[in-house]
């Protein structure tokens, strides 16, 4: 009876975790992903592989082992669910390395937890009942064993010895059987997928959601952990000479597009450069009004004397703000998992602040009124070439707001630091006030959000309106300090706002939105470039992205990009018909077509759109640029993970 209760408890455990995985999947709302019969088998098999060892435990600790594993797996599922709601991705080992950042999310996490999440722990009451039931049976068995105990010490010792041996074997074989069955149920279907529609899944840099579509949640975490161990503790990887030559050949062609000695090359040599990376600043609201008020009036006014790029895309991955920072300053793609700043801060990259410092004598500073350890900035920024990093400890918290210091005070104090810096200077600023969950205090809310009042969408518009006011004050401060007429101002958004409810955007914009509309809305961030003489002002509709910042600014300053390895476009080159903007997910646009990959990541399952008609078209027009897009992601990942730029630069 004890053995039967053990197996019954184990069966309850497997069923409970399986139901939680089904509930988890149901809340993802991921396109093109359905749980088929094989997916269910993978889920059940992965649970068995994660828990078979509990059947080897002695009776007195079995229930604690199974209960503890239930708690751990439930916590993992819940953490992944909350993380996915914000990042549309899953937690990986590199993300866990920055686990201290999770506590800093504060109110954001509270907004991402829903009442229905309580279903994830509904089984615990049943588990407790099963454990109490097993305890009752154990006591009954202990009572009945007193009869055997009266047979005498010698016979009792012999019986116990044989009983222990039989019980040990009795635990060994069921555990092995569960392991073998779990292996067959999980690995078998995964291998089938990998040999059919998911070929080359584990070799290419696929989106984590695509991996999940094949491996299931627990299988994904096993693969991610194994990949991390191999990457950091396995044999050192090397790049074959043929592969390196192919990479260098690609960059020679890229430099042809980036290096163009036209009238804008060096036209602003010696100018100060102020770059503002704005938190969750999206393009869909630029020029828009609500309740008769402009949402971004200062940005709109500044557009009249600046270059504005409405088709500028964020190219971030899991690292979000950190990725935008890295990609903008290095002109390389971020990694598919984790943040470069956390995973490879000691690797060599061609960074904009380092180039400006060494090639043109710029004083370089980074400004972010938050903890310096967040996204490993204390370690990463000196490697990027910054002379000084002004973090939270350097600011007076005279306007506490949201995560840290309000943008108005942040800009004011940062400008004070800049005026004490020798010229020319490069100042890289990261704002915070428009960070999720966008909960500004009442006294800072000056926008009437109408029907969106009290919603997260309305709060987002409110926070962007506040940021815009702060931007207006910074521009006024630059003029007052006499810096405006010899400073290039470069303002862009870092990533989307994580508010993905289509109905909100349709109500705000007053029209129905297609799949293409929503994909562009969630990936387009504004870019504004103000030049010292306000020349070249206008709207530039060509596709562009965060990787374009470094080669473009170097061009304006008269510093050739030829010695460096950049993957972005030069926004001031005439070769606009050759632009390809690739997102970390594998989506891309060249201005003619727009490709949205599927969760399976098979090219044929994706969606190809003709941008002139904005209608979905045959897949073939997207085939060649898709191959180039995947090649670029692969090249970037190879450079970063193998520290290849270190040897390529030394061979120049």
Helix (H) or strand (E) holding 214: helix 208-233
Half-sphere exposure of 498 (CA within 13 A, CB side): 27
* Section 324-341 average pLDDT: 94
Closest CA to 571 of 625, 527, 522, 635: 527
Per DSSP, the three-state class of 165 is: helix
Domain 241-650 in this protein, CATH class: alpha beta
Question: Which residues share a beta bridge with 404?
Answer: 401
Q: Which pLDDT does position 105 carry in this prediction?
A: 59
Half-sphere exposure of 95 (CA within 13 A, CB side): 22
Residue identified by tokens 């692969």 is: 634
Q: How many CB atoms lie within 10 A of CB 518?
A: 15
Residue with more model confidence, 167 or 602 = 602
* Residue 106, token pair as written in the block: 């504060």
Residue with more model confidence, 67 or 135 = 67
Q: What is the 3-state secondary structure (H, E, C) of 538-587?
A: EECCCCEEHHHHHHHHHHHHCCCCCCCCCCCCCCCCCCHHHCCEECCCCC
Residue pLDDT, tens place only, 49-62:
999 999 999 888 89
Q: What is the DSSP letter of 427?
A: E
Q: Which pLDDT does position 6 carry in this prediction?
A: 82
Residue pLDDT, tens place only, 247-294:
999 999 998 888 888 999 999 999 999 999 999 999 999 999 999 999
Q: Distance from CA of residue 167 to its chain's centroid?
A: 49
Residue with more model confidence, 233 or 14 = 14
Q: Which pLDDT does position 136 carry in this prediction?
A: 80
Residue pLDDT, tens place only, 131-188:
677 678 777 777 766 554 554 444 444 445 445 555 556 678 888 999 999 999 999 9
Confidence of residue 522 (pLDDT cuts 50, 70, 90): very high
**492 Cβ contact list (under 8 Å, min separation 6):** 275, 276, 277, 278, 281, 312, 328, 525, 526, 527, 528, 546, 549
Residue/partner pairs of 621-626 with CB below 8 Å, 24 or more apart: 621/592, 621/593, 622/593, 622/595, 625/580, 625/588, 625/590, 625/593, 625/595, 626/586, 626/588, 626/595
Q: Which pLDDT does position 202 carry in this prediction?
A: 65
Helix (H) or strand (E) holding 6: helix 2-28
Closest CA to 522 of 90, 88, 32: 88
Mean pLDDT of the chain: 88
Q: Which pLDDT does position 86 carry in this prediction?
A: 74
Residue ranges per structural domain of the chain:
2-233, 241-650
CA gap 579, 581 in Å, rounded: 7
* Section 496-505 average pLDDT: 95
Q: Which pLDDT does position 168 carry in this prediction?
A: 57
Q: Which pLDDT does position 156 carry in this prediction?
A: 42
């Amino acid at each position: 009876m004890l053995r039967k209760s053990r197996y019954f408890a184990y069966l309850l455990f497997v069923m409970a975790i399986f139901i939680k995985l089904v509930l988890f999947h149901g809340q993802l709302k991921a396109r093109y992903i359905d749980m088929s019969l094989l997916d269910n088998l993978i889920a059940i098999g992965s649970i068995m592989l994660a828990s078979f060892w509990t059947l080897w435990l002695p009776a007195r600790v079995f229930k604690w082992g199974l209960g503890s594993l239930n708690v751990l797996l439930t916590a993992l599922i819940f953490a992944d669910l909350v993380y996915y709601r914000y990042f549309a991705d899953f937690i990986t080992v590199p993300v866990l390395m920055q686990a201290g950042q999770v506590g800093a999310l504060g109110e954001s996490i509270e907004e991402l937890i829903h009442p229905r999440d309580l279903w994830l722990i509904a089984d615990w009451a049943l588990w407790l009942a099963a454990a109490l039931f097993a305890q009752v049976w154990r006591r009954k068995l202990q009572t009945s064993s007193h009869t055997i105990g009266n047979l005498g010490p010698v016979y009792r010792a012999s019986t116990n010895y044989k009983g222990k041996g039989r019980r040990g074997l009795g635990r060994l074989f069921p555990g092995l059987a569960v392991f073998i069955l779990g292996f067959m149920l999980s690995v078998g279907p995964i291998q089938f997928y990998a040999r059919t529609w998911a070929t080359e899944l584990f070799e290419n840099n696929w989106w984590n959601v695509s991996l999940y579509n094949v491996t299931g949640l627990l299988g994904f975490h096993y693969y991610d952990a194994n990949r991390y161990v191999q990457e950091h503790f396995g044999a050192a990887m090397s790049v074959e000479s043929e592969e390196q030559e192919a990479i260098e050949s690609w960059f020679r062609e890229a430099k042809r597009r980036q290096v163009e000695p036209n009238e804008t090359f060096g036209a602003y040599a010696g100018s100060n450069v102020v770059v503002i990376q704005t938190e969750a600043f999206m393009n869909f609201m630029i020029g828009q009004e609500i309740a008769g008020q402009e949402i971004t009036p200062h940005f709109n006014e500044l557009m009249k004397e600046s270059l504005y790029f409405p088709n500028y895309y964020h190219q971030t991955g899991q690292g979000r703000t950190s990725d935008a920072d890295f990609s903008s300053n290095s002109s390389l793609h971020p990694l598919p998992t984790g943040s470069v700043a956390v995973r490879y801060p000691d690797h060599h990259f061609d960074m904009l602040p380092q180039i400006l410092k060494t090639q043109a004598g710029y004083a370089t500073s980074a400004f972010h009124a938050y903890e310096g350890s967040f996204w490993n900035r204390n370690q990463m920024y000196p490697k990027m070439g910054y002379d000084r990093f002004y973090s939270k400890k350097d600011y007076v918290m005279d306007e506490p707001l949201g995560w840290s210091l309000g943008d108005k005070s942040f800009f004011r104090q940062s400008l004070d630091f800049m005026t004490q810096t020798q010229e020319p200077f490069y100042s890289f600023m990261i704002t915070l006030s428009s960070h999720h969950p966008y909960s500004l205090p009442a006294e800072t809310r000056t926008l009437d959000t109408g029907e969106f009042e009290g919603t997260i969408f309305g709060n987002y518009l409110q926070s962007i309106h506040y940021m815009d006011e702060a931007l207006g004050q910074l521009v006024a401060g630059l003029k007052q300090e006499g810096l405006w007429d010899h400073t290039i101002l470069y303002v862009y958004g870092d990533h989307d706002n994580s508010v993905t409810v289509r109905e909100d955007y349709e109500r705000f914009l007053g029209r129905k939105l297609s799949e293409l509309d929503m994909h562009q809305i969630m990936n387009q961030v504004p870019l504004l470039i103000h030049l010292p003489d306000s020349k070249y002002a206008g709207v530039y509709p060509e596709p562009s992205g965060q990787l374009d910042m470094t080669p473009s600014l170097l061009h304006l300053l008269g510093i050739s990009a030829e010695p460096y390895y950049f993957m972005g476009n030069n926004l001031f080159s005439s070769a606009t018909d050759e632009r390809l903007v690739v997102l970390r997910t594998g989506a891309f646009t060249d201005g003619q077509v727009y490709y949205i990959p599927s969760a399976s990541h098979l090219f044929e399952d994706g969606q190809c759109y003709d941008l002139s008609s904005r209608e979905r078209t045959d897949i073939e027009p997207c085939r060649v640029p898709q191959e180039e897009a995947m090649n670029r992601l692969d090249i970037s990942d190879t450079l970063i993970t193998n520290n290849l730029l270190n040897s390529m630069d030394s061979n120049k």
